[in-house]
Amino acid sequence: MTALWWAVITFGLYHGLNPGMGWPLAVSAALMERRPLAMVRALALLSLGHFLAMTAILLPFSVMSGLIEWQSEIRIGAGILVISAGVYLLINRKHPRLLARVHPSRLALWSFLAAMAHGAGLMLLPIYLGICCAPQMQDAGQVAAGQLLTSNIGTVFLVVFVHTAAMSLAGGAFAVLMYLWLGLKFLSKTWFNLDVIWALSLILVGTIGVWSAVV
């Protein structure tokens, strides 16, 4: 269980470091408006959008995970879904055009759509199911279905909050570093493409999710 919670934090840091989750937009906002407060506001909106996207992905599974007799099937299905998303992103390298059409002032909406398009919430799915399902399997005969559902929903918000906090910390740190010392020009010349690593990460996480459900 401790390892699963550390995975939630680690993937939050990983998402935060990925420019595809939007922290360069926060740096750009601060540079254009020439005030650091613009970066803080942009990071807050990006975090809000990411939080809502993670919640939208995990919340439906919190309801399904209350079905004790289908725990393994649900976890295997979720793992296969994550693997499929990783394979798709590995084959299709094009970024969704919809993201380019979102107005720069709507950062929360952009962040929500970016997280959905990149499968960021799916990356958390096997980890969340591992956290919420393990206690249920042990206490299935003692806990009522309503209590399980309430517990699962609470776990969703806790997982999403911890994950988003870690993402905001990592993304915010890089945004400050770029704004104060390096600048976006440095980023455009030195940052490597994370798309392949991101897709492979989804495949790896999905495989681990299927394996843990089977075992």
- CA dihedral sign of residues 39, 103, 46, 154: positive
Q: What's the pLDDT tens digit per position in 107-160?
A: 898 889 888 887 788 888 888 888 876 555 544 444 555 566 667 788 889 999
Contact 199, 89 (CB under 8 A): yes
CA pair distance 81, 103, nearest whole angstrom: 31
- Higher-confidence residue of 184 and 197: namely 197
- 191: buried, middle or exposed (CB in 10 Å: 19+, 13-18, 0-12)? middle
Answer for the pair 83, 203: CB distance below 8 angstroms, yes or no: yes
